[in-house]
Amino acid sequence: MLIEAILAVLIIAVVAGLTTLGLCFAVRKARTHKAREECAMLIAACKMYRALVNEWPKANRQQDIIDHLLSPQLPRMGRPPVLLDLTEADFDLAGRMIDPWRSPYVIEFPEGRVLVYSFGPDMESDEGHFEGDGCTEGVHEALGLCVPVDDVRPVGVHHRDTEAQR
**Residue 166, domain member (yes or no):** yes
Domain that holds residue 50: 33-166
For residue 44, give the 3-state DSSP assignment. Answer: helix
pLDDT in tens, the chain (166 residues): 889 999 999 999 999 888 888 888 888 888 888 888 888 889 889 998 888 888 888 888 888 888 888 877 666 666 667 778 788 888 888 888 888 888 888 888 887 888 888 888 777 665 544 444 444 555 445 544 444 445 566 654 444 444 443 3
What's the DSSP call for residue 76?
Answer: T
CATH of the domain at 83: 3.30.700
Check: pTM over 0.85? Answer yes or no.
Answer: no
**Residue 5, domain member (yes or no):** no
Number of alpha carbons in the 13 Å side-chain half-sphere of residue 52? 20
Instruction: In whole angstroms, give the CA distance from residue 17 to residue 15.
Output: 5
Q: How many domains does the chain have?
A: 1
**Residue 37, domain member (yes or no):** yes
**Residue 3, domain member (yes or no):** no
**Residue 14, domain member (yes or no):** no
**Residue 23, domain member (yes or no):** no
State which H helix or E strand residue 115 sits in.
Answer: strand 115-117
Phi, psi of 106 (to 5 degrees): -105, 125
> CB-based contacts of 98: which residues, under 8 Å, 6+ apart?
90, 91, 92, 104, 105
Instruction: In whole angstroms, give the CA distance from residue 13 to residue 7.
Output: 10
Pinpoint the alpha helices (H) of 54-157: 62-70, 137-143
**Residue 2, domain member (yes or no):** no
**Residue 10, domain member (yes or no):** no
